[in-house]
Chain A
Amino acid sequence: MKSKLMKSVIGIGALAASTLGPSSAQAEDLTLCWAAWDPANALVELSKDFESQSGHNMSFEFVPWPNFADRMLNELNSGGQLCDLMIGDSQWIGGAAENGHYIKMNDFFEKEGIDMADFIPATVTGYSEWPKGTPNYWALPAFGDVVGWTYRKDWFDRPELQAEFKEKHGRALDAPKTLEELKQIAEFFQEREIDGKKVYGASIYTERGSEGITMGVTNALYNYGFQYENPEKPYELEGFVNSEGAVAGLEFYKALYDCCVPPGSSDWYMSENIDAFKSGQVAMQMNFAFIWPGVESDPNVGGGKSGYFPNPAGPGGQFAQLGGQGISVVAYSEKQDAALEYIKWFAQPEVQKKWWESGGYSALSAVVDDPGFASSQPYAQTFLDSMAIVKDFWAEPAYASLLQPMQSRIHNYVIAGQGTAKEALDGMVKDWNEVFEDEGIK
């Protein structure tokens, strides 16, 4: 009897060890680092499923956007172990890959059957690849994002404004198709009184400290013909960065700033634009698509009062600034296996579908190509249209050194009104050439 009891105890113990043992032994506390914004809150909720399935605990380190790059790049450069998973900005990918901050994920993707062909091509190029255009992957596309426009549909629909606009411009007051039309609409609303309150044309990105004005002005530059380099000869900038079209694009952005923004908006980025729009100060706002779920649910401007449109075309074509990020495993983490488990879980189509439903922008083609996707939210079609026209800033390892001169030169011209557009772009060519020379590229 005693030996039977002993055998039973040993048997139960062995069973428990075989079932619970491995998972409890591997249970890790994972920390995911990202920017502090609405999608991050959605990810916290979504990750609860991962915690219950895997037994791992998730912690989150979210940093506000203006300090995000400073804080997280310091963390990576110092080989810090705060973050096991990093949803880093798309432009960091070159530096993170070359400096060994992220682990390369090709073998992992192959082993787990994760195929990059299943994701929106622009997001794979933008968030995962380094060098660009090569099948070397350092991240899984996590959050598709792009600059687009939000407008006050309820104001646009007012018959008296429709009539006045039609009389003035000979067309209906509707979402603009070109940048010139956008400026006309902004001028139309500038300092107009609506419901007893003075309103303004548009809020645009003008922020100086981090990346704001660059993320804004590129939406005009691209569409007037600006190119980062000679497509035939990499790193040749002269005549591409400061082409006639680029000068016209920069002049357009300054004209838009001079004519049609709220007073005091000389240092505005995402949150200031959201505030201006939600408080009824502006008829249109430029912003990344991540804000759209929040606009739709807002009591003042949501529920059909707002509409969405992609960045309008210019004489040089129609493009929009890419935002968004990929999720990577930090090379200094001691919990890389658990971190990869998270990425494997996150890549699943049903998780990606839930990600979209909870306010995240999935980059998985199966989600966005679903026949019901375009009508699933009022902004879904605009998101699809915008993701089809994206362009991104340099993603070189020296991207920060390339970004700062652009911030400075563009802000000096557009906001401070110093010099000409040509001088600003010529200065950028000079600064960027110096950076590439320092890097030993030129």
Chain B
Amino acid sequence: MSEETNTQSKQSPSGNRLSKVRGLSDRAIAWIFISPTILILLAINIFPLIWTVYLSFTNYRVNRPNKEVEFVGLRNYERILSDSDIWITMQATAHFLIWTIILQVVIGFTLAYLINKKFKGNDLWTTIIVLPMMLSPAVVGNFWTFLYQPQIGLFNYVVGFVSGADPSSFSMIGDVALAPWSIVIVDTWMWTPFVMLICLAGLRSIPDSIYEAAECDRASKWRQFWTITIPMVLPFLMLAVLFRGIENFKMFDLVVQLTGGGPGSITELTSINLKREAFEKWRTGYASAYAVILFVSIFGIASIYVKALNKVKSR
């Protein structure tokens, strides 16, 4: 009976198809499975990237469909790299990037170190600390504008209460000197928990036996910290810096809600500036060149950083 069935199946059309599939190599089957994903990636990632590079050499404007598109060579790149306003936004981005990373790493690691100790209410505190990163950046930006409000804002009130200054005598988001710090403070408030969680994972991955061995060797707590804790958490810290660096390099929503890039262009980060060029001034070719420069910069820096990270991990 089983032989008959086998024979029938071999002779039927479905049996033929099955035998054809059976004839495919593993490599061919793998290609069949991944080709839809590759096609989608090509359509939504690779093609737009190539198209952006092409547009960056033209004077194309998306709001001027009737205007002839001209090839302008490297003119867009020359303009961007010699534009002092662009360098000001680069400086604003660098200030934001450096200070948020420093503060988030220092505070995040400190919190992780404290949370890692066993004490009553440990889980509750972890949950409370992690809450800000669960909020939408647009919501955070919006409610911090109220907290920073000189007349009714809680932030100004607290600073006034502590320092004795009149709360309405300073404006965090309206003052040139304070505005860059206002966005650093909010981003640090929101994303330090993320760094803390990564550091906590690093701290919890250190086996207790290493500390016990150090105790046996009568190593002080300070020495244990510098020779065990820091080196073993370092790859995690570097990973946190990488994530936050990439995220903050393209920071947009939170800052737009908070300051809109102002006062003047003091907090106009590169992503906000790029959006203005592309979708407010409608200089599509110019904005494409700008995007290519940013992409190459961030890709280059991230690649160097990942190599350094791998070196640290392999130690």
Contacts and interface: CB of A to CB of B under 8 A. Distances in A.
Given A400-B280, A401-B282, A266 B62 contact: no
B264 A415 contact: yes
A216 interface: no
B149 interface: yes
A95 interface: yes
A264 B171 contact: yes
Given A74-B279, A208-B261, A100 B66 contact: yes
Contacts of B202: none
A415 B262 contact: yes
Nearest to B174: A266
Interface residues of A, number: 32
B173 interface: yes
B10 interface: no
B260 A209 contact: yes
Interface string B122-161: 0000000000000000000000000011110100000000
A100 B151 CA distance: 48
Contacts of A70: 279-280
B224 interface: no
A152 interface: no
B185 interface: no
Contact of A263 (B171, B256, B259, B281): B171
Contact of B264 (A77, A400, A418): A418
Nearest to A213: B262
A411 B281 contact: no
Nearest to B64: A99
Contacts of B262: 208, 266-267, 411, 415-416
Interface in A383-414: 397, 400-401, 403-404, 408, 411-413
Given A99-B66, A263-B171, A401 B281 contact: yes
A417 interface: yes
B234 interface: no
Given A267-B173, A404-B280, A99 B65 contact: yes
A99 B64 CA distance: 6
Contacts of B282: 77, 400-401
Contact of B263 (A73, A400, A415): A415
Contacts of B279: 70, 74
A95 to B, nearest CB: 7
Interface in B249-267: 256, 259-266
Given A401-B282, A404-B280, A266 B151 contact: no
Contacts of B168: 263-264
Nearest to B266: A416
Contacts of A207: 260
B265 A412 contact: yes
Interface of B: 59, 62-66, 85, 148-151, 153, 168-169, 171, 173-176, 256, 259-266, 276, 279-283
Given A77-B62, A99-B63, A411-B264, 18 more contacts: A73-B63, A99-B65, A209-B256, A209-B260, A264-B149, A265-B174, A266-B263, A267-B260, A267-B262, A267-B263, A281-B151, A397-B64, A401-B283, A404-B280, A408-B264, A411-B262, A411-B265, A416-B176
> 4 tightest CB-CB pairs across the interface, nearest first?
A416-B264, A266-B174, A412-B264, A263-B150
Interface of A: 70, 73-74, 77, 95, 98-100, 207-209, 262-267, 281, 397, 400-401, 403-404, 408, 411-413, 415-418, 438
